[in-house]
Amino acid sequence: MLKVGIVGCGSIGTILCRAITEHPADLELVSVFDRHTEHSKRLVSTLACTPAIEDVPQMAGHVDVIVECASISAVPEVARISLINGCDVMIMSVGALSNTHLKNELINLAEKNNVMIHIPSGAIIGVDGIKSAKIAGINKVTLRTKKHPESLKGARYIKEKGINLDAINKETMIFKGTVEGATGAFPANINVATTLALASGIENLSVEIYANPELRRNVHEIIIEGGFGKFEISVENVPSPANPKTSYLAALSAITTLKQMTKPLQIGT
C-alpha cells in the first residue's frame, strides 16, 4: 500500500484526494495540507475517509510520497522537506524546475537520500516518445499553447503589458519566448513548457501562447524535429471543472503516475 500525502487542496488536489479515497486499490491517502486551513477542512469533510490535516514536515514522517499540487512558489519548500526526510515527491507545478539551480539542487537531494522526484506528463501526451527521440538527438522543439482569454486572466504578464483580454475577438498571440520567460509570465498556465524542456533536453525551446475566445478547450500543439525525424502532437484538453486554468488531463496524469508506482508491470518509456 502506497501512503500518499497531498499538498494543495485546490482543483488538482481535490481530484486526487477523491480518486484515492473512492478507488483506493493500492493507494492510501494519509494526510493533506493547504496553507489555508479552511480549504483542508472543507476538502476532508467531503471525502470517503478522514486523512490527517498536518504540515509538510509532519506529513513527510509517515508517507511514501508527497504530491505537490499547490503552486510554483510552494515547490522549493515542499520538495526539499520531502527529499531530506527520505520521501518521494511528485511535482505538479513543474514550472518551478525551469529554475536550473533549483532543479539541480533537488536532483542532488534525491540522489543523496535515495528517493525519487516524479514529474507526471501533465496536460500533454507523447512524453515517452520525446524521451526516446532524445537519444537520436532533438534539434528543435516548438510549443504553441492556445487558451480562452478567461483562462489567462490574472497572469502577471497580462497586467504588466496592459493586455485587455476582453477585447480579443480572434486568435491572438500574446507571448513568444523561452520556457523560463513563459513560466515567469504565466506561472499557472504553462507547466507543459517545462515538462517538454525536461523530456527533450532542449531548454531553449520556443514557446508561443495564444488567446482565442472561440476555444472551449485548452490546446497544446507540439512540433519536435531531430535525428529521429519529425512528429507533431496536438492535444485539446477539457479544462478542470473547478479551475479553467488547469487541464483535467493534468490531474488524470497524476493519478496514473501514483498508480504506476505500485505496479510490477511498467508500460511505456
Q: Specify the pLDDT at position 246.
A: 79
Joined together, the cell numbers standing for residue 61 give 514522517
* Range 127-237 classified under CATH 3.30.360.10: yes
Q: Over the stretch 5-39, which tens digit does the pLDDT of each residue have?
A: 999 999 999 999 999 999 878 999 999 999 999 99
User: What distance in Å separates the CA atoms of residue 103 and residue 67, rounded to the nearest whole number?
Assistant: 17
**Annotated catalytic sites, by residue?**
220
Tell me what pLDDT residue 153 has. 92
* CATH 3.30.360.10 in the chain, residue ranges: 127-237
Chain centroid offset of residue 207 CA: 17
> Fold for domain 2-119+250-260?
Rossmann fold (3.40.50)
Model confidence over 130-186: pLDDT tens digits?
A: 999 999 999 999 999 999 999 899 999 999 999 999 999 999 999 999 999 999 999
Which residues, other chains included, contact 201 with Cβ-Cβ below 8 Å and sequence gap of 6+? 134, 138
pTM higher than 0.95, yes or no? no
Q: Amino acid identity, residue 235?
A: V
- Which cell goes with 53? 490535516
Phi, psi of 85 (to 5 degrees): -90, 15
Q: What is the pLDDT of residue 189?
A: 84
